[in-house]
C-alpha cells in the first residue's frame, strides 16, 4: 500500500482535549509510528467515518515532537461531532497539505505578526517555530486582536510572549468586559505604534477576510513592500487536493498553491481579500 498517497487516511489517536473557550477546543493528536512532519502554515484534512471531512490548520510548531495540535471551533455537524470526542478516541487524518510560510526566506529578517480572532491558530505554529529558533530571526512583533476577552485563545502562551525580552507583544479587543485592563479598539489601531525597518520586515497576517483590507492598508502606509506581506487564504479550502474547485481563483488553487500567498501574488491572480 502506498502510504504517501494524498488520499490515504491515517488513523490519529487523540491524546488530550482542552476546552479553550465556549466555542473552541484544542486537540492533541498522535499518528502512531510517525510524526506529522508539517511546515508552519500547512493544514490537514480531519475526518470522522459517516460524518465528513474538513481542512484544519495545524496550530503546533514543527518543533513539537510526537504529536500535533488542532483547534476546532464548533460550527457544524463535523466540528460538533469532534467536540464530543475525548482522549483515546480516533480520527482520520490526511496530509499535511499546502504551501506554508516560507521559513527560509523569513530567516534573518524582522517579523511582524498580525492575528485576528482564529487567525492566531495557524500563526501560533509559525510564532512558536520562530521562538524555538529565535537566533535565526531579527526583531519580532506580535499583534493580536479579538472581538472580546472571552474569545481570546492561548492565554498562558500569550502571557509568556508578553514576558519575553526578545518579543514585542500587544493585544486589543473590540469590546471590553469589566475585567479587561488592556487596549480597546480594532487591531489596526496597534500597527501605527510599531517601530520597524520596512526594507527588512516581513508582515504575516491571518484573520477574517474583512480584516485583511484594512490591515494591509496600514502595512503599506508603513512602506512594507507587497512581496513582504504574507496572508493566508485557508478559509477558501475544502478537499485539499485541488479537485473540488472550491478554493479556485483563476488558475490558482489555494489548497495546493497556498494557503499562504504574498499580497503581491494575491493582487496578480485577482483574489478577493
Evaluate if residue 234 carries a pLDDT over 80. no
Evaluate if residue 64 carries a pLDDT over 90. yes
Which pLDDT value is given to residue 108? Answer: 97
Length of the chain: 273
Evaluate if residue 26 carries a pLDDT over 70. yes
What are the binding residues for [2Fe-2S] cluster? 239, 244, 247, 255
Which of 3-12, 160-169, 199-208 shows the lowest per-residue confidence on average (mean pLDDT)? 3-12
What are the binding residues for FAD? 71-73
Q: What is the pLDDT of residues 213-231, one digit of tens each?
A: 999 999 999 999 999 999 9
What are the binding residues? 71-73, 239, 244, 247, 255
Domains in the chain and their CATH numbers?
10-96 (2.40.30.10), 103-269 (3.40.50.80)
Amino acid at each position: 500500500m502506498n502510504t504517501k498517497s494524498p488520499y490515504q487516511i491515517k488513523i490519529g489517536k487523540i491524546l488530550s482535549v482542552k476546552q479553550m473557550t465556549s466555542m473552541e477546543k484544542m486537540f492533541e493528536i498522535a499518528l502512531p509510528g510517525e510524526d506529522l512532519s508539517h511546515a508552519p502554515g500547512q493544514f490537514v484534512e480531519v475526518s470522522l467515518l459517516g460524518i465528513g471531512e474538513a481542512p484544519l490548520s495545524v496550530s503546533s510548531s514543527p518543533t513539537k515532537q510526537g504529536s500535533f495540535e488542532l483547534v476546532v471551533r464548533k460550527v457544524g455537524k463535523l466540528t460538533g461531532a469532534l467536540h464530543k470526542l475525548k482522549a483515546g478516541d480516533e480520527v482520520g487524518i490526511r496530509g499535511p497539505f499546502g504551501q506554508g510560510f516560507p521559513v527560509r526566506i523569513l530567516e534573518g529578517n524582522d517579523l511582524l505578526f498580525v492575528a485576528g480572532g482564529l487567525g492566531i491558530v495557524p500563526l501560533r505554529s509559525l510564532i512558536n517555530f520562530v521562538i524555538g529558533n529565535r537566533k535565526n530571526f531579527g526583531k519580532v512583533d506580535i499583534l493580536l486582536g479579538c472581538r472580546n476577552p472571552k474569545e481570546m485563545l492561548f492565554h498562558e502562551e500569550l502571557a509568556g510572549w508578553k514576558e519575553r525580552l526578545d518579543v514585542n507583544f500587544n493585544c486589543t479587543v473590540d469590546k471590553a468586559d469589566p475585567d479587561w485592563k488592556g487596549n480597546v479598539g480594532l487591531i489596526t489601531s496597534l500597527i501605527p505604534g510599531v517601530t520597524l525597518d520596512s526594507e527588512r520586515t516581513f508582515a504575516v497576517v491571518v484573520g477574517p477576510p474583512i480584516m485583511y483590507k484594512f490591515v494591509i492598508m496600514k502595512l503599506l502606509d508603513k512602506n512594507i513592500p507587497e512581496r513582504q506581506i504574507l496572508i493566508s487564504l485557508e478559509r477558501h479550502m475544502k478537499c485539499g487536493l485541488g479537485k473540488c474547485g472550491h478554493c479556485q481563483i483563476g488558475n490558482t488553487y489555494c489548497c495546493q498553491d497556498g494557503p499562504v500567498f504574498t499580497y503581491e501574488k494575491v493582487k496578480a491572480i485577482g483574489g478577493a481579500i
